[in-house]
Amino acid sequence: MMYPKENALVHWIFSSYVKWLVGKTFNKFNYNNIDVDAGKSVLLVANHFSFWDGLILFLINKRLWKKKFHVMILKETAVHSSILRYAGAFSVSKNSREMLQSLNYAAGLLQNPDNLVLMFPQGKLYSNFVDHVNFNKGIMRLIEKAEGKFRLVFAATFIQYLKHKKPSVTVYFKNEPGNYAGRSIKELQDNYQQHYQAAKQLETEIEI
Amino acid sequence: MISRPRRKILADLFAKYMYYRMRKTFNRLQVVNKFEPRSGHSVLLLCNHFGWWDGLWANYLAYWHLDRKSYIMMQEDHLQARMWLSHCGAFSINRSSREMITSLQHAAGLLDDHENVVIVFPQGELISNHTTEIKVEKGIERLIKNIKGPCQIVYNAVLVEYFESLKPSAYFHLYDCGLAGEVSFDELTTRINAFHQQALKAQLNVEH
C-alpha cells in the first residue's frame, strides 16, 4: 500500500496548480454549501466519472470545510500520478490482501476530527450518464472499522456545457444522518442513489 | 432571413481549422456506431442541443463523416453576431416572426440536392445534456413536408464524458430515422426519443 506523503511546499504547489487549472478549464464551479461538525471527521462518498472528481472535491474542501484531505485511489493511479500522494492520496489494490490494509488505514484517519476521507465506492470510472450507482463492499468494512467517529457526506458531481465554450461543474452535497454501522450496503447504496437521482433531476432542469 | 451563397473555399477552411481546434480541446471525437449515409440522398441532420460546441461538432460530422456540403440553421441573433459564418453555409431562423416559414422552406430547398446536409437542432433551444426526453419542434414537420428530393433523416445524439483524461471527449451516436415523406412527424418524434434512450444506454459501455 502507498501512503500519503507530507511536504508543505509540494502540497502548496499542487494546491495552487489545481486551483489555477480548475479556474482555467471551467466556466463555473457550483456547489451547495453544507456545514459539517468541526468535532467529527468527514467520510465523503462521491460518484466517479472523471479524473476531475477528486481535484474538484479537493478544492471545495479547502474552501468550505478546511479539513485535512485524504482520498483513496487505485494503486495504478498512485504509481502513475504520484504527485497526488502529496495531496493526501493513498492507494488501494482491489482483490488483494492490501485492500484490508487500505481500509484500516482510512478508518484510522477517520478517528481524527481534522481529517476528511474521500472515497469513490464505485471502484472505477463510470460514465457521467449512469442511472444506477453500484457500490463495492469495501465501504461497509471502512464504516464498521471507523466506529461512528465521522460524519457521512454524499456528493454527486455533474459536468455540462450550456451556452459557454468552457464547461461548468456542479456538485450536490448532502449531509447524511447516521453512520450506517451495523446496517446493510444496500441501505447505504439506496440512500446515495436517492440523492444522486434528485441531483441529476436538478441538473436536467437547469435554467440555461 | 439571413442567407448568403456558401463559399466552398471558406467552408472547407473553416472545417479544417475547427478540426485542429477540436483536436486541441478534446481528447476524443468518436462516432460510436458505424454509420454510412444512403448514397444519392441528402441528409437532414437533427442534433441534440446542449452547448456552445454543438454546431461545430455537427459541422465536423458533416465534413469528415457524412461527406456532404454542410448548411446549418442558426438563431438569427446568434448569426448576426458572427455574420462571417453565413459564407460557410449558416442561415438564420427567427422563431418569433413569420419569416420562420421562409427559413424552413430554404432548408427544405437545400435538401433537394443530394450533395447537401442541413444541420438543425429540433429542440429549438439549449437543453441540459442530461435530459432523457428530446422535444421536437413543430417546424421540423413543415420543413420535412417541403422536401422534394430524396432525403435521409439522421438523429445525432452527442454525449460528453471525461473518464481518465482532463480533456473532454465527445461521443456521437448516429441513427437513421428514415426517409423524408415516408415517416410521419409523430413517428419521427417517437423514433428520436427511442434512439436517444438507446444512445444513453450505449454510452455506459463506450470505449475510453
Domain CATH for B66: 3.40.1130.10
Return the percentage of chain B with pLDDT > 70, whole number.
100
Contact A125, A49 (CB under 8 A): yes
**How high is the pLDDT of residue A208?**
60
Contact B185, B193 (CB under 8 A): no
Return the percentage of chain B with pLDDT > 90, whole number.
94
Instruction: Give the predicted TM-score (pTM) of the model.
Output: 0.92
A15 in reach of chain B (CB within 8 A) = no
At a CB cut-off of 8 Å and minimum separation 6, what does A112 contact?
A41, A68
List the one residue out of B180, B29, B25, B191 whose CA is nearest residue B112.
Answer: B180
CA distance A166 to chain B (A): 8
Mutate to test the interface with A, among B74, B77, B123, B128 (most CBs of A within 10 A): B128
Q: Measuring CA to CA, how many Å separate A172 from each of A93, A138, B154?
A: 28, 23, 36
Which alpha helices (DSSP H) does chain A contain, by range?
8-25, 52-64, 75-80, 98-109, 138-146, 185-204
As a whole number of angstroms, the distance between CA B110 and CA B104 comes to 10
Would you call A161 and B50 a contact, using CB atoms and an 8 Å cutoff?
yes
**How high is the pLDDT of residue B97?**
85
**How high is the pLDDT of residue B15?**
95
Would you call A49 and B164 a contact, using CB atoms and an 8 Å cutoff?
no
Contact B91, B103 (CB under 8 A): yes
Contact B45, B69 (CB under 8 A): no
Residue B2 included in any domain: no
**How high is the pLDDT of residue A147?**
86
As a whole number of angstroms, the distance between CA A119 and CA A147 comes to 17
CA distance B72 to chain A (A): 17
| Number of domains, chain B | 1
Domain residue extents for chain A: 8-204
Phi, psi dihedral angles at A148 (to 5 degrees): 70, 15
DSSP code at position A135 = P
Cross-strand partners of A160: A168
Residue B1 included in any domain: no
CA distance A165 to chain B (A): 5
Would you call B132 and A159 a contact, using CB atoms and an 8 Å cutoff?
no
Q: What is the pLDDT of residues B59-104, one digit of tens each?
A: 999 999 999 999 999 999 999 999 999 999 999 999 888 889 999 9
**What are the E-state strand segments in B11-147?**
28-31, 42-47, 69-75, 90-93, 116-120
Q: Which residue from B128, B159, B161 is facing A203, i.e. has the nearest CB?
A: B128
DSSP code at position B35 = -
Mutate to test the interface with A, among B162, B203, B207 (most CBs of A within 10 A): B162
- Give the pLDDT means over successive 10-residue stretches in chain A (208 positions): 95 96 93 91 96 95 95 93 95 88 96 96 93 93 91 95 92 93 93 96 81
Would you call B50 and A160 a contact, using CB atoms and an 8 Å cutoff?
yes
Cross-strand partners of A115: A68
Partners of residue A127 in chain B, C-beta under 8 Å: 161, 203-204, 206
Instruction: Write out the residues of chain B at the interface with chain A, using a CB-CB cutoff of 8 A.
Output: 50-53, 125-132, 159-166, 168, 200, 203-204, 206, 208
Contact B77, B97 (CB under 8 A): no
As a whole number of angstroms, the distance between CA B93 and CA B52 comes to 18
ipTM: 0.89
**How high is the pLDDT of residue A207?**
64
Partners of residue A156 in chain B, C-beta under 8 Å: none
The fold for domain A8-204 equals Glycerol-3-phosphate (1)-acyltransferase (3.40.1130)
Residue B149 included in any domain: yes
As a whole number of angstroms, the distance between CA A195 and CA B168 comes to 25
Q: Determine the structural domain holding residue B110 and report its residue range.
A: 8-203
**How high is the pLDDT of residue A148?**
85
Buried b (16+ CB within 10 A) or exposed e, A167-183: bbbbbbbbebeebbeee
List the one residue out of B141, B111, B103, B90 whose CA is nearest residue B44.
Answer: B111
